[in-house]
Structure 1
Amino acid sequence: MNPALALGTVAAAQGDPFPVLLADEQVRDLSEFAGSVHELLQRWDELSPRLRELRAGGSWRPLEGLRVLPPLIPGQILQAGANYRTHVIDLAVKHNPDRDEAAVRAETAEMMDRRVAGGEPYFFIGLTSAVTGPYDDVVLPAYSEKHDWELELAAVIGREAFRVDRADALSHVAGYTIANDLTTRDLVFRKDMPEIGSDWFRAKNAPGFTPLGPWLVPAEFVEEHPRITLRLNGELMQDESTKDMLFDVAALVSAASQTTPLRPGDVVLTGSPAGNGLHHGRLLRAGDVMTGSITGLGTQTTRCVAP
């Protein structure tokens, strides 16, 4: 089910993309205000109070028959890693198969308590070239057979944030969308240079590895702790509330803004909950269909295809 009110980007079969307001399965063209959702976000303080007014007027058309594209092409993509307690514990167990599982879980839980008390979020950078639509096929690169899913809540910036306090950070968030931060597991750590650590560039930035959308829902319409669910071929794999986050959205936005200005149209991925393929021992194969939903944000459906 689509959200009650949202922004998005659509295109007719042979037409150019255009920004829209979505309401009740109908869309209103917003091209009179800007050429894209990214441009709309540059005027977010001006336009966001008018969303209900815009809903009441203008010319509307059915969503049916239009292609739904990524709601926006971000400026920057900042990705938070290891930000869900259960997910981190499960990964630690998988990476330490020769150790006692209870001991690994206890040590990892203690480590995360220390992170929350005195540490900072962990970020890396994504490429906009990896962004694809919420219903587009994703080609699984032939250089690996260990591609995985990571469904995430994505915060979209609507007001520049630079060195903002945590208490003020959410006022800089225009809204939220869905991202699936796909990962090639065997490329995360460099075997040729183990001392250099992780290689997120190769592991996460293949074309189509960031399905985004379908919609950008204004923050005022999103509940405090939405639920993230992903099904693989109909089987539930991820099912977790954002309550399991180590650092919440406000903490993430504040921390990222200490290093770089976050500008309207930037996107902050907030980490993936437990239930990835590595945990289940079942990674992606050609023909798989991922169906990802977040409460109030809609659903994306992505089919995996062979190269």
Structure 2
Amino acid sequence: MLLNNPPSTSPCVKEGDNRMAYVGRFAPSPTGPLHFGSLITAIASYCDARAHLGSWLVRIEDTDIPRIYPGSEDHILRALDAFQFEPDADIIFQKDRIDIYEAVIEQLHQQGAVYACQCRRKMLGSNHIYMGTCRDLALPLENQAIRVKVDNQTICFTDRLQGRHCSQLQQDLGDFVLKRRDGIMNYQLAVVVDDYLQGITHVVRGADLLDNTERQIWLGKLLGYPELQYMHLPLAMNDQGRKLSKQNRAQALDLTQASQLLQQALLALHQPRVELDTPANMLKQAIAQWDVTFIPHGTELQGTY
């Protein structure tokens, strides 16, 4: 399992069948400080992993360097301490792993699974589904976006909360970008590679990422990675009816109120009440009482946060 250091072998080499039964993770992006919606994801992923006697890892998804908000990585690390989460390995930072992602793109290139794309957003217009304009042009990969080819097939998975979810790859998604023209690695590539190399088996995250899952399953299939189990949580909403997010200027977590916020987040997930105490003791109680069947189905939590 890869932690801080690059692997001694290529990431293209597949690991054996020695994976743990449950390895979960929390993978925030430092495009702003953690907010209440982030806390819900952190708590749910942590409690679910611990309730299954599994491991819980933390990964900072910071490949989109121009969007990193000053001080947000520090706030994430201080929040993990304030809420007394205990990761089972050193935290990894994706910006330190670009060579690994480049090696995977080269592997896919050797498979004939990717191609260079010179199309810009203005050329694509309002159609967000890419129709393969550059697929057969055989453009050089340098200084171009890199897209992965999708087949004319349907990918389905069963989400632990959201149920059966399917996408027809060509009609619903189209060939998608793995590396941008400016050299930034796309989320879809980095998350799939790191989930594999860290031995992740279960992904607990917000429902705003639900529609990315078929892309990630497809990419994992191309790379020969095992399929993961997914649980997409309903989203906390603001008083304008929009999801709490950094783009919507969600309020940063007040780390001096960690215990109160833990209690509030667990109640938002409809978990049994825990008594106010140190965050560590509250998390132990929450793990002992954890029940996924209590979490509301659907993509939005009722109420505002």
Fold shared by both chains (TM-score > 0.5): no
TM-score bucket of the superposed structures, by smaller chain: under 0.3
Q: TM-score, normalised by structure 2?
A: 0.25
**Bigger RCO of structures 1 and 2 (CA < 8 A, at least 6 apart):** 1
- Looking at secondary structure, tell me which structure has more strand per residue: 1
Q: TM-score, normalised by structure 1?
A: 0.25
